[in-house]
Amino acid sequence: MNLQASPWALIDWERIRADFPLLTREVHGKPLVYFDNANTAQKPAPVIEAVDDFYRRHNANVSRSVHALGTEATDAYEESRRKLANLLNVRGDEIVLCSGTTFAINLVAYSWALPQLKPGDTILVSRMEHHANIVPWQLVAQRTGARIKVAEIREDGTLDLDALYKAMTVDVKLLAVTHVSNVLGTVNPVREICREARKRGIASVVDGSQAAPHRKIDLPAIGCDFYAVTGHKMCGPTGTGALWARKEHLAAMPPFIGGGEMIKEVSFDGTVFNDPPHKFEAGTPNIAGFVGLGAAMDYLQGVGFDNIEAREQALLAHLTEELDKVPGLRMFGRAPQKAAVVSFLIEGAHAHDLATLLDLEGVAVRSGQHCAHPLLQFYGVAATLRASLAFYNTHEEIEAFIAALNKARKLLA
Ligand code: PLP
Nearest CA to ligand 1 atom 5: 182
Q: Look at residue 7 in the predicted model and tell me its pLDDT.
A: 58
The answer to whether residues 121 and 262 belong to one domain is yes
Indicate the top mutation candidate among 182, 366, 386 to test ligand 1's pocket, ranked by most ligand atoms within 8 A of CB: 182
Please check the confidence at residue 131 and state whether its pLDDT lies above 80. yes
Over residues 156-172, the pLDDT tens digits come to 999 999 999 999 999 99
The CA 67 to ligand 1 mean position distance, Å, reads 37
Catalytic residues, by residue number, are 371
Q: Which residues form the domain of 25?
A: 8-43+304-412
Nearest CA to ligand 1 atom 8: 39
The verdict on residue 1 lying in a domain is: no
* Ligand 1 binding pocket, CB closer than 6 Å: 38, 100-102, 130, 132, 178, 182, 207, 209-210, 230, 232, 371
Assess contact for 370 and 384: CB atoms under 8 A: yes
List phi, psi (to 5°) of 22: -65, -25
Boundary (domain end) residue, out of 259, 282, 301: 301
The CA 230 to ligand 1 mean position distance, Å, reads 7
The verdict on residue 110 lying in a domain is: yes
Q: Which atom of ligand 1 is nearest to the CA of 102?
A: 16
Indicate the top mutation candidate among 99, 214, 230 to test ligand 1's pocket, ranked by most ligand atoms within 8 A of CB: 230
Boundary (domain end) residue, out of 301, 316, 341: 301
The verdict on residue 259 lying in a domain is: yes
The answer to whether residues 119 and 12 belong to one domain is no
Over residues 70-82, the pLDDT tens digits come to 999 999 999 999 9
Nearest CA to ligand 1 atom 4: 209
The answer to whether residues 101 and 113 belong to one domain is yes
The verdict on residue 3 lying in a domain is: no
The CA 29 to ligand 1 mean position distance, Å, reads 31
Q: Look at residue 3 in the predicted model and tell me its pLDDT.
A: 44
pTM score of the predicted model: 0.97
Weakest mean pLDDT among 116-120, 223-227, 257-261, 389-393: 257-261
Assess contact for 319 and 37: CB atoms under 8 A: no
C-alpha to C-alpha distance for 211 and 142, rounded to whole angstroms = 30
The answer to whether residues 173 and 76 belong to one domain is yes
Nearest CA to ligand 1 atom 6: 209
The answer to whether residues 83 and 228 belong to one domain is yes
How many domains does the structure of the chain reveal? 2
CATH number at 393 reads 3.90.1150.10
State whether residue 312 is helix, strand or coil.
helix
The CA 71 to ligand 1 mean position distance, Å, reads 32
Please check the confidence at residue 344 and state whether its pLDDT lies above 60. yes
Return mean pLDDT, the chain. 96
Instruction: Determine how β-strand 363-364 pairs with β-strand 33-34.
Output: parallel
Assess contact for 326 and 406: CB atoms under 8 A: yes
The CA 267 to ligand 1 mean position distance, Å, reads 38
The verdict on residue 37 lying in a domain is: yes
Nearest CA to ligand 1 atom 12: 101
Q: How far is CA 76 from CA 83, 277, 365, in A?
A: 10, 16, 35
Over residues 279-333, the pLDDT tens digits come to 999 999 999 999 999 999 999 999 999 999 999 999 999 999 999 999 999 999 9
The verdict on residue 2 lying in a domain is: no
Give the CB-side neighbour count of residue 337, counting CA atoms within 13 A: 12
Count the Cβ atoms, other than its own, within 10 Å of residue 360.
15
Mean pLDDT of 137-160: 98
CATH number at 109 reads 3.40.640.10
The answer to whether residues 227 and 362 belong to one domain is no
Indicate the top mutation candidate among 130, 135, 343, 369 to test ligand 1's pocket, ranked by most ligand atoms within 8 A of CB: 130
The answer to whether residues 392 and 280 belong to one domain is no
Q: Which atom of ligand 1 is nearest to the CA of 180?
A: 3
The verdict on residue 177 lying in a domain is: yes
The answer to whether residues 89 and 221 belong to one domain is yes
The answer to whether residues 193 and 288 belong to one domain is yes
The answer to whether residues 154 and 64 belong to one domain is yes
The answer to whether residues 62 and 155 belong to one domain is yes
Assess contact for 359 and 385: CB atoms under 8 A: no
Instruction: Determine how β-strand 147-151 pairs with β-strand 95-98.
Output: unpaired
Over residues 197-209, the pLDDT tens digits come to 999 999 999 999 9
Q: How far is CA 235 from CA 55, 231, 299, in A?
A: 19, 7, 9
The CA 155 to ligand 1 mean position distance, Å, reads 23
Count the Cβ atoms, other than its own, within 10 Å of residue 67.
10
The verdict on residue 30 lying in a domain is: yes
The answer to whether residues 29 and 67 belong to one domain is no
Boundary (domain end) residue, out of 301, 316, 343: 301
Instruction: Determine how β-strand 263-267 pairs with β-strand 270-273.
Output: antiparallel
Q: Look at residue 8 in the predicted model and tell me its pLDDT.
A: 57
Give the CB-side neighbour count of residue 168, counting CA atoms within 13 A: 21
